[in-house]
Amino acid sequence: MTEKEMNEAKKKYLTRYKKSHLKWLSLCEQEKSIRAEIEGARSPEITDMPRAAGTADLSDWMVRLETILEKINAAKRENYGIRAEIEERIIDMDDGIQSRILWLRYIDFKEWNDICTRIGYSWNRTHELHSEALRNFPLEKTVQKRIE
């Protein structure tokens, strides 16, 4: 595997947390939407008129809510596991600037301009340090195979 391919594999490994985090946020938004629909649902009217097909009652909404809550909990556990694994590898790096760049980019999801400002380096130097950080980032062959 070339150095470029190795760095791409490391980036893929590091971006797993962002993808997992965004999935969790999406599920939380869906939960809010379902709760809003439940709160906005009218109480059923007692009538002798037939009800239209496809009209959901409150129990249908509660089942949807319970399903989404289970998915949220599973995504949250997965998200925390991925983050802890990546954090541990970043923390174990020898160079403080390199680990800070990786932390800001892949854990805090900062843009490059913000990273440059926070670490006090130019755009070019920040990217050079990011490349060095990727070269020094520990990624075992078992992890490489798992993310490919």
- Determine the pLDDT at residue 21: 96
Per the structure, the count of domains in the chain is: 1
> What pLDDT score was predicted for residue 62?
85
74 domain residue, yes or no:
yes
Domain contains 87: yes
Residue 110: inside a domain: yes
Residue 143 resides in a domain: no
* pLDDT of 2: 85
Q: Supply the range of the domain harboring residue 104.
A: 3-40+62-138
Distance separating alpha carbons of residues 45 and 72, to the nearest angstrom: 33
User: Is position 55 within any domain?
Assistant: no
Closest Cα partner for 130 from 103, 109, 107?
Answer: 103
What pLDDT, on the 0 to 100 scale, is given for residue 141? 54
CA 68/CA 19 separation, integer angstroms = 18
User: Using the 8-state DSSP alphabet, how is residue 49 labeled?
Assistant: S
Q: What pLDDT is attached to residue 34? A: 85
Residue 113's pLDDT is what? 96
**Cα separations (Å) of 116 from 66, 108, 111?**
43, 14, 9
Residue 144 lies in a domain: no
- Asked if the structure places residue 48 within a domain, the reply is no
pLDDT at 110 (0 to 100) = 96
Blockwise average pLDDT, block size 10, the chain, 148 residues: 87 94 94 84 58 62 89 95 94 93 96 96 96 90 54
**133 in a structural domain:** yes
